[in-house]
């Protein structure tokens, strides 16, 4: 392993792996989009939970009922997002 002009030795596995010269794995564009989509789904779910709980309390629901409705909303948000993303992915493959 001969060091380059910066004094960093070459990574012998660089040609066959997804790593930088430092040996740290890189994130591909595809993985970055997936991570951002997951973060967006969690953020949307959190906002929906807050909205559902607030609307339930404004409708004079008790705290346990409001929490139950908020939990149901939080469970439904990623389920709906997964269904929509699956449908869009199947359309893009055609």
- Torsions phi, psi for 35 (to 5 deg): -65, -40
Which segment, 5-9, 13-17, 58-62, is predicted with the most confidence on average?
58-62
Residues 6+ apart with CB under 8 A from 41: 77, 78, 81
Instruction: Supply the pTM of this predicted model.
Output: 0.61
pLDDT in tens, 34-73: 788 888 988 998 999 999 999 999 999 999 999 999 999 9
Give residue 7's pLDDT. Answer: 64
Give residue 55's pLDDT. Answer: 95
How many residues make up the chain in this entry?
94
Instruction: Count CB atoms within 10 A of the CB of residue 48.
Output: 16
CA 28 vs. chain centroid, Å, equals 14
pLDDT in tens, 26-44: 667 777 887 888 889 889 9
């Amino acid at each position: 392993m001969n060091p380059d002009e910066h004094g960093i030795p070459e990574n012998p596995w660089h040609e066959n792996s997804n790593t930088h010269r430092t040996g740290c794995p890189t994130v591909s564009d595809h993985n970055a989009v997936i991570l951002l989509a997951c973060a967006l789904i969690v953020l949307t779910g959190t906002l929906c939970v807050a909205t559902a709980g607030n609307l339930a309390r404004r409708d004079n629901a008790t705290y346990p009922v409001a929490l139950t409705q908020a939990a149901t909303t939080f469970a439904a948000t990623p389920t709906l997002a997964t269904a929509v993303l699956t449908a869009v992915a199947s359309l893009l493959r055609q």
